[in-house]
Amino acid sequence: MHNGFRTFGERYKMFTLKPAHECRDYKELLEQYIGVHLPPIKIAVTGTGRVARGVFEVLEKLNVRMVSVQNFLTQAYNEPVYVVLNTSQLYERKDGKPFNRSDFHNHPEQYVSAFAPFTKMTDVFVNAIFWDPRAPIFFTKDEMRSRDFRIKVIADVTCDVNGSVPATIRDTTIDSPVFGYNPKTEQEDKPHQPQVIDVMAVSNLPNELPREASTEFGEKLIEYVVDEMLTPATDLIERATIAKDGALTPKFAYLADYALPQKIKQVTKASG
């Protein structure tokens, strides 16, 4: 979220913020916003999980108000506001039946994107939700060329390259977090230009605040894992085990698509 605000401030020459990795800690990061006046922009955030909750925390500390989906789409504000979009607001069934969360997770290919209205009312889009490749993308490259496509800053925390956000054509780095996506050429361009959409797609964001990341990870490790590791048989460790006895465990069988090509390559090399 901080990178999204940095990008917005630089794009419109409104304010300048230090990158997170130049701050000693989260407190110093937030102190930068003292005296910063955020314009009345609309921010759409996808997701309600741990990643999205990190986004909400920053917005709440900056006193950015959350509004309902209906009001976000129909009302004008004289202050910055944000809306939270979960899967039921992002997708609709192809057959017109009511959205069913369980069915969506099992059969996402049976759904279409319902994000179109938000592209017309959103200034900053923060993508912080898991995306299944079987599910539809949020919007198309053709839609991004439309005159009423309002989004100019995308903070793609999820960072699925060529995934749910078509403008995320590559990931970015902490040192160079933003590129411009030109909808007309469908190519990368310099950021902060009128004709581009600025895309922040850093894939290793926790490294920007190593103290907080390490503290959080350590605390959760102590709280949930250490005692379990000392237990002879534990469901928690079993559920977290990716591979055992040289094979993927059932829960992580979906990784076979990533593992098999390397295995085939090794077999081919050996046979050759």
| Whole-number pLDDT of residue 272 | 47
Residue 256 has pLDDT above 90, yes or no: no
CA dihedral 94, 100, 106, 109 (to 10 degrees): 20
Among 80-94, 154-168, 202-216, the range scoring the smallest mean pLDDT is 202-216
pLDDT band at 48 (very low <50, low <70, confident <90, very high): very high
- How open is the CA angle 64-68-70, to the nearest 5 degrees? 135
Domain positions in the chain are 2-208, 210-271
pLDDT tens for each residue of 3-45? 999 999 999 999 999 999 999 999 999 999 999 999 999 999 9
Residue 212 has pLDDT above 80, yes or no: yes
Among 62-66, 77-81, 232-236, 254-258, the range scoring the smallest mean pLDDT is 254-258
| Whole-number pLDDT of residue 262 | 53
pLDDT tens for each residue of 95-128? 999 999 999 999 999 999 999 999 999 999 999 9
Residue 240 has pLDDT above 50, yes or no: yes
pLDDT tens for each residue of 51-65? 999 999 999 999 999
3-state secondary structure the chain: CHHHHHHHHHHCCCCCCCCHHHCCCHHHHHHCCCCCCCCCCEEEEECCCHHHHHHHHHHHHCCCEECCHHHHHHCCCCCCEEEEECHHHHEEECCCCCCCHHHHHHCHHHEEECCHHHHCCCCEEEECCCCCCCCCCCCCHHHHCCCCCCCCEEEECCCCCCCCCCCCCCCECCCCCEEEEECCCCEEECCCCCCCEEEECECCHHHHCHHHHHHHHHHHHHHHHHHHHCCCCCHHHHHHCCEECCEECHHHHHHHHHHHHHHHHHHHHHHC
Residue 242 has pLDDT above 60, yes or no: yes
Residue 246 has pLDDT above 90, yes or no: no
pLDDT tens for each residue of 122-175? 999 999 999 999 999 999 999 999 999 999 999 999 999 999 999 999 999 999
Q: What is the model's pTM?
A: 0.83
| Whole-number pLDDT of residue 176 | 96
Percent of the chain's residues with pLDDT above 90: 79
8 A C-beta contact, residue 128 and residue 56:
no
For residues 138 and 158, give the distance between their C-alpha atoms in angstroms, rounded to a whole number: 13
The Cβ-side half-sphere exposure at 243, using a 13 Å CA radius, reads 6
Among 55-69, 158-172, 235-249, 258-272, the range scoring the smallest mean pLDDT is 258-272
Residue 50 has pLDDT above 50, yes or no: yes
Name the residue with higher pLDDT: 195 or 209: 195
- Identify the CA nearest to 42 among candidates 149, 158, 139, 125: 125
Q: For 2-208, which CATH class?
A: alpha beta
Residue 269 has pLDDT above 50, yes or no: no
| Whole-number pLDDT of residue 254 | 85
Residue 267 has pLDDT above 50, yes or no: no
